[in-house]
Amino acid sequence: MSKKGILIVISGPSGAGKGTICKALLERNEYYLSISATTRSPRKGEEDGINYYFLDRDEFKTKIEEDDFLEYAEVYGNLYGTPRSKVQDMLDSGKDVILEIDIQGALRVKDKVDDGVFIFILPPSMEELKQRIIKRGSETPESLMTRFKSAYQEINYVSKYNYAVVNDTVDKAVRKIESILIAEKCRVDRIKEKILDSKEGLIHEQLYD
């Protein structure tokens, strides 16, 4: 994959607050948030093409066969996948792209995209995580328990990520992620070619971003 933008993967257990953090990040920055496809039914207020592309299982499977997904995973009985071509187009056009995906999906992306930035969102405590999952109120008691148990196990995967950000307040978490991205854009392995170009007096404008 040749890229100009940075691929940012925001992941972590259900209830850690990934969605809220991504929303706040987008209000303050010019990132592109990838819209996933899913076989789960829309929740109240969710719209096709805005929150997700809602597909049936057959449609989703056709897309898998056509290799349309950068990654996909089964999460709590539903399939979720990241549309590959839109993400690639955005990166090629210089946009930084956020994927808000589960841990299985994040690890698959990590195998394919070695210069992505992988950020794990941690809840402030397990008790807080439980309360957040309950407060969501969109789940049955059984699925609440499943989500809580798997969230507990998923925390172990933090060691596979580049960064861990505790979501104690959304504002603090967002500021930490913004700082991570500022630092990533200064990494020599990302900007080496631009610096070498600039030796001839041709200062690349992206060095000043």
By the rule CB under 6 A, 18 interacts with ligand 5GP: yes
**Whose Cβ is closer to ligand 5GP: residue 96's or residue 100's?**
100
Contacts of 40-48 with CB under 8 Å at 24 or more apart are: 40/78, 40/80, 43/138
By the rule CB under 6 A, 154 interacts with ligand 5GP: no
Question: What is d(CA 76, CA 60) in angstroms, rounded to the nearest whole number?
Answer: 16
Question: What is d(CA 22, CA 119) in angstroms, rounded to the nearest whole number?
Answer: 12
Lay out the site mask for ligand 5GP across 33-72 (x = CB under 6 A, - = otherwise): ---x---x------------------------------x-
Question: Is 137 assigned to a binding site?
Answer: no
By the rule CB under 6 A, 81 interacts with ligand 5GP: yes
By the rule CB under 6 A, 147 interacts with ligand 5GP: no
By the rule CB under 6 A, 73 interacts with ligand 5GP: yes
Question: Is 15 assigned to a binding site?
Answer: yes
By the rule CB under 6 A, 17 interacts with ligand 5GP: no
**Whose Cβ is closer to ligand 5GP: residue 36's or residue 167's?**
36
Residue least distant from ligand 5GP (Cβ): 105
**Whose Cβ is closer to ligand 5GP: residue 139's or residue 184's?**
139
Stretch that binds ligand 5GP, among 24-32, 98-106, 151-159, 168-176 (CB under 6 A): 98-106
The dihedrals phi and psi of 98, each to the nearest 5 degrees, come to -105, 130
Rounded to the nearest whole angstrom, what is the least distance from the CB of residue 41 to ligand 5GP in the complex? 10
Inter-residue contact 61 to 81 (CB < 8 Å): no
CA angle (128, 74, 115) in 5-degree steps: 80
Give the interface with ligand 5GP as residue ranges (CB under 6 A). 14, 18, 36, 40, 71, 73, 75, 80-82, 100-102, 104-105
Numbered residues of the known binding site for ATP: 12-19
